[in-house]
Structure 1
């Protein structure tokens, strides 16, 4: 990775889609980077027309344009960490994986955006296969939600023990350094409990539950916060713990905007 940066602060890169409603995607990522005093750079993979009620349209960027954005940032500014979000199709995923290898991008946080926290599949099966086979094995940490972990592990996940078993399988089969199975979509007391596994240590990460319907962008925000903390030099587990605390605080100050599901409050400290 090119670490010859010209700025005096850490730099992180988000490779993700644009959310016109501002609640998720690169908009959430860049706000999260800024909150952590990390300079945010971006490579846009797709442009969505969406708001708090849902997604109306998605337009993919050409893979060559995604490659050019990544190269432009890394080869000049340099980055200390990167995260991926919505990559949309197999061509873009393959292009991103190729760049991660070619540019030797370390501290890579892969949010494997395949299925929403309500269980709706967001990308097709070919894209899922490319994400699983080409990109996730390059990750420093992968952060699947309940339903994504089911796809990656082949297990049905209904309990914390299921989450732990899935983390084992994903770590073993995909050779990723750390797996963080997120419990935001879990029922009952499992909601919001995350499972960390690095091949040696299994950690159950808990915070207070926040009762709000305005949870749009939580997955993007968590992965961006992890990347920001890694860019600042934190170790992986510390980066995850602090990121989880940030998301919990942002949920406590979630924004009740629009007619549907509002976003978390990234700048809660200013509210």
Structure 2
């Protein structure tokens, strides 16, 4: 008696994503957008397990597959465990989206250096740790998507330390794209403009928010769903976009 094994290379299995910072803001919008495309999702959280559980429940309620995984993105052991959990649940990882980040605004002359260290630990080391795990684990045909900011071009005052961390993210991303030559894995960064999330709105008065809205030719703040559309493009059909920073900002100069 013989057994026939289907080795058709076109046979499709469900793709799997891990989204860091996936419990709120842009991260949650990305989770829901990828799930809508039929992708199973690991929803990462750093401290708010309840919000991650809500996001998972929303995905499952809409017929998708998701689990929550926790951990500090800058802790290599915690992130290794998070990747392990997603692989154990869904069989592998095809897409890693690293939205986790913190933003502390201050003039360079008065920034508390402890805040600088805290921000760079999450934004730079965290991106490096997640990218390192992704480079080792993402399956051929996959995508790694990191997050920068459009302020690397606009140079707004008080953003100096934050932009420095995101410039590092861009460098990590572009070099990793070249290092993964031959593996059919794309590596890109998304650089949002002013987007209506708690991270962006915190500490800004209505006049500042209005000014930033009008700075965009479309004359509005971006929404998390706007950013999620770019991620879905890079995670799916954009197989010829690699080693790029995509400025998703409504035309902000």
Q: What's the TM-score once normalised by structure 1's chain length?
A: 0.41
Greater radius of gyration (CA): 2
Which structure has more strand as a fraction of its residues? 1
Q: What's the TM-score once normalised by structure 2's chain length?
A: 0.43
